[in-house]
Every structure is written in C-alpha cells, then in structure tokens.
C-alpha cells in the first residue's frame, strides 16, 4: 500500500507539501499540482481520514438536525444539502430528533466536542433551556426553515412565508372565492403563523374577515387535515388554504370519503410543492418553496462559518404560486 512518502518521492516534493496540498491548505503552481495528482493516481494512494483529522482538526463531516425524516419536506431539504456538501468534499450525518429537546441538546453537544465540523439546525419546537443556550454559543451552525430564536446571532435561511399566504389568498380571490377557510399548522411555530397572517391580511385587504372558527390549528399531518375539513364543512367554505402539502393530502382524502368534490365544491391550495403534489388527484395547486436553493444556500452559509467567514445573517428566499387542478372558478 502506497504511503504519503511514496507520493512525495514520485512527485519530487516533500511529504509536507503533499499533506498540505491534499488538505486544501496550500496553493501550488499548475505543474506541481499535476505532478502530485499524477502520483496519487498512479500509486492509488488514499489519505488516512483519521490522520487528516488529527493534522487539520477537521472531520470533513457536517450534521443536519431535523425533526423527522419520514416527512418528505425534510427529506428533500436533506437531499439538497447533501448534494451541495458532497460537491465541497463533505459527508453528511442526519440526526432525526423528533423535536425532542434532549436529542437536540445531544446533537449540539457533539458539535461542541468536534464530532463534526458544522451543523444545520431544523426543529418543530421553540428551543428553550440547554438547547437555546447552546444555539446561542459561537459554533459553526445555521438555522434553516423555521425562524427560531429570532434575536440570537445565528445565520438563517428562510422563505417568504407570509408572501406565500398572500399568494394563496390572492389566487382564490381571483377565482371568486369569499368564504375561505385556513387549515394551519402548529400555532406556536413561526412559519405556520406567518402563512396564516399573510392569507388573512390579503383577504382583509379585499374586505373579507376570516372569523377564528374558520382557522383550524394543529400539527403538520394528514390526520389534522382530514379532521379539520370535517370540522369546517358545516361552515360551508368554498375554498381552503392548507399551510402544508402534507395537511392538504388529508383534506383530499377526507373530501373523497365524504363525497366532496375538489375543486368543484371546494378549491384547495397547499404550501411546499412536494414531489407528490402533481401526482395526487386532482393535482395540487400549491405555493412552491425553492427546496434545492434552500439546501444549497444553507450549506454555503455553513461552509462560510466553518472557514471563519460571516454569511448573510438572514437570507429570505422567494416563493411562487403553482396552479394545478385543485382550484377552480367559484360556481355561483
């Protein structure tokens, strides 16, 4: 098995030069780089990962803390982050916490201990106690998706959630709907509140007040979507804004069970544009989050922090309306 010294000898440089070059700590002339790269290929030399970590203090690994991996929203985000990380030579460790503060704290403790070089944090609960304290420390981490601990000096990548709610309401208004119900996510989470507020404000601008009983709060789940539609039907909405596509799938299922036609009886708008959104029946009109860009921006911000640079403190990405078959002109 080839050794570092063998590569250095073949390339005509010192072992230190080879080590610093492969670890990214040395810029060399093109001719020298070509000789080292050629020697590595010819000798089939593979750097020792443990030795590299000892010499550089880096693991070339990042972690993603996510509430769950069964939800396709978080799966898609993790895949986007992994693509960006792999292109920069990093491996990715996914830590699914089920929003358990003890598991979130354990992940942050691993970052403290140097088990990975940086961390992208997502949660479905508001951090408190040890989690909030560790998030506020000066570690290479960023916040993704939810705008948690807004006063903490943590770079974050977010989307324009309130704009998305307004886009959903505007679309339904253009179709002639006035009795609009909202199936919201958790009341305590910033994204859910912002999407509801954007929708309510846009409807109020059109002279329409949304009474509290036309807003159903609950978890981001299909079960909540189904139960909420059942509760709303006696109030005779002509349109429903579901603040996530997962919630919208529950609305579609319950509507089919109850003989309610989407979109003939009730128009439906979701939020996220998950890969399944154009596969359900009818295809779902929804607000698209730029998941690939979110993942790429999140890794880029984290990469900056790991290199001692300061990324933008707050990146807000735009959302767009995607019109499909679940919305239609209101029948008078």
Give the tens place of pLDDT for each residue, 263-319.
999 999 999 999 999 999 999 999 999 999 999 999 999 999 999 999 999 999 999
- CA dist 253 and 70 (Å) reads 19
Same domain? For 39 and 135 the reply is no
Query: 332 pLDDT exceeds 70?
Result: no
Give the tens place of pLDDT for each residue, 131-163.
999 998 888 999 999 999 988 899 999 999 999
Domain-located, residue 331: no
Q: Measured between alpha carbons, how far is residue 180 from residues 41, 120, 196 in Å?
A: 64, 36, 12
Same domain? For 280 and 185 the reply is yes
Domain-located, residue 300: yes
pLDDT: is 96 or 41 the higher one? Answer: 96
| pLDDT at residue number 17 | 87
| pLDDT at residue number 314 | 95
- CA dist 148 and 226 (Å) reads 28
Question: Residue 202 sits in which domain range?
Answer: 161-289
In three-state secondary structure terms, 257 is: helix
Domain-located, residue 311: yes
| pLDDT at residue number 186 | 95
Domain-located, residue 332: no
| pLDDT at residue number 53 | 52
Same domain? For 169 and 269 the reply is yes
Same domain? For 75 and 108 the reply is yes
Q: 92: pLDDT confidence band, cut at 50, 70 and 90?
A: very high
Domain-located, residue 328: no
Same domain? For 117 and 232 the reply is no
Same domain? For 300 and 151 the reply is yes
Q: 24: pLDDT confidence band, cut at 50, 70 and 90?
A: low
- Rounded percentage of the chain residues whose pLDDT exceeds 70: 95
In this structure, are residues 8 and 14 in contact, taking their beta carbons and an 8 Å threshold? yes
Query: 325 pLDDT exceeds 80?
Result: yes
Lowest mean pLDDT among 55-59, 182-186, 266-270: 55-59
Domain-located, residue 324: no
Same domain? For 214 and 280 the reply is yes
Q: 44: pLDDT confidence band, cut at 50, 70 and 90?
A: confident
Same domain? For 167 and 259 the reply is yes
Q: Kindly list the strands in the beta sheet with 141-144, ordered across the sheet, starting from the edge strand earlier in the chain.
A: 91-96, 61-66, 118-121, 141-144, 156-159, 314-317
Same domain? For 123 and 225 the reply is no
Give the tens place of pLDDT for each residue, 111-129.
988 899 999 999 988 899 9
Domain-located, residue 323: no
**Number of compact structural domains in the chain:** 3
Query: 50 pLDDT exceeds 70?
Result: no
Question: Once rounded to an integer, what is the mean pLDDT over residues 229-244?
Answer: 97
Structure tokens at 137: 């420390």
Domain-located, residue 236: yes
CB atoms inside a 10 Å sphere around CB 212: 7
| pLDDT at residue number 256 | 97
Same domain? For 178 and 279 the reply is yes
| pLDDT at residue number 224 | 98
Q: Please choose, from the candidates 108, 93, 88, the residue with its C-alpha nearest in 3D space to the C-alpha of residue 61.
A: 93
| Beta strand pairing call for 141-144 and 285-288 | unpaired
Same domain? For 261 and 300 the reply is no
| pLDDT at residue number 211 | 96
Q: Please choose, from the candidates 228, 235, 233, the residue with its C-alpha nearest in 3D space to the C-alpha of residue 196.
A: 228
- Give me the phi and psi of 260, to 5 degrees please: -95, 125
Q: Could you tell me which residues are beta bridge partners of residue 317?
A: 159
Whole-structure pTM value: 0.82
| pLDDT at residue number 31 | 87
| pLDDT at residue number 57 | 55
Query: 59 pLDDT exceeds 90?
Result: no
Give the tens place of pLDDT for each residue, 191-224.
999 999 999 999 999 999 999 999 999 999 999 9
Question: Once rounded to an integer, what is the mean pLDDT over residues 34-49?
Answer: 78
Give the DSSP H or E segment for 15: helix 15-22
| pLDDT at residue number 54 | 46
Q: 47: pLDDT confidence band, cut at 50, 70 and 90?
A: low
CATH code where residue 231 lies: 3.40.50.2300
Same domain? For 165 and 285 the reply is yes
CATH code where residue 26 lies: 1.10.260.40
Q: Could you tell me which residues are beta bridge partners of residue 181?
A: 240
| pLDDT at residue number 290 | 97
Q: Reduced to 3 DSSP states, what percent helix, strand and coil does the chain have, rounded to the nearest 5?
A: 45, 15, 40
Query: 42 pLDDT exceeds 90?
Result: no
Query: 49 pLDDT exceeds 60?
Result: no
**Residue 282 preceded by cis peptide, ω within 30:** yes
In the chain, DSSP assigns E strands to 61-66, 91-96, 118-121, 141-144, 156-159, 180-183, 215-216, 239-242, 267-272, 285-288, 314-317, 320-322
């Amino acid at each position: 098995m080839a050794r570092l010294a063998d590569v250095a000898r073949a390339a005509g440089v010192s072992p230190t030069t080879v080590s610093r070059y492969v670890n990214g700590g040395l810029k060399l002339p093109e001719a020298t780089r070509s000789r080292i790269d050629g020697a590595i290929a010819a000798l089939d030399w593979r750097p020792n990962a443990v030795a590299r970590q000892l010499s550089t203090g880096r693991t070339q690994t990042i972690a993603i803390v996510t509430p769950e991996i069964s939800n396709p929203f978080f799966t898609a985000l993790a895949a986007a982050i992994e693509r960006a990380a792999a292109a920069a030579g990093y491996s990715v460790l996914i830590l699914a916490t089920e929003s358990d503060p003890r598991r979130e704290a354990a992940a942050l403790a691993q970052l403290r201990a140097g088990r990975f070089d940086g961390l992208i944090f997502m949660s479905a609960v508001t951090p408190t106690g040890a989690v909030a304290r560790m998030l506020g420390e000066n570690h290479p981490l960023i916040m993704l998706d939810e705008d948690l601990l807004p006063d903490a000096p943590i770079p974050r990548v977010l989307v324009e959630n309130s704009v998305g709610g307004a886009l959903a309401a505007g679309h339904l208004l253009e179709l002639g709907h006035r009795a609009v119900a909202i199936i919201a996510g958790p009341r305590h989470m910033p994204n859910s509140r912002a999407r509801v507020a954007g929708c309510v404000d846009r409807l109020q601008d059109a002279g329409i007040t949304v009474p509290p009983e036309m807003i159903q709060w609950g978890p981001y789940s299909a079960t909540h979507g189904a139960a909420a539609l059942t509760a709303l039907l006696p109030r005779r909405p002509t349109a429903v804004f579901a603040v996530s596509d997962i919630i919208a799938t529950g609305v579609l299922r319950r509507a089919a069970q109850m003989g309610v036609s989407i979109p003939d009886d009730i128009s439906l708008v979701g939020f996220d544009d998950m890969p399944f959104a154009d596969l359900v029946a009818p295809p779902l009109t929804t607000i698209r989050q730029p998941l690939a860009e979110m993942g790429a921006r999140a890794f880029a911000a984290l990469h900056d922090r790991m290199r001692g640079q300061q990324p933008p403190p707050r990146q807000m990405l735009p959302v767009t309306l995607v019109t499909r078959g679940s919305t239609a002109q209101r029948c008078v």
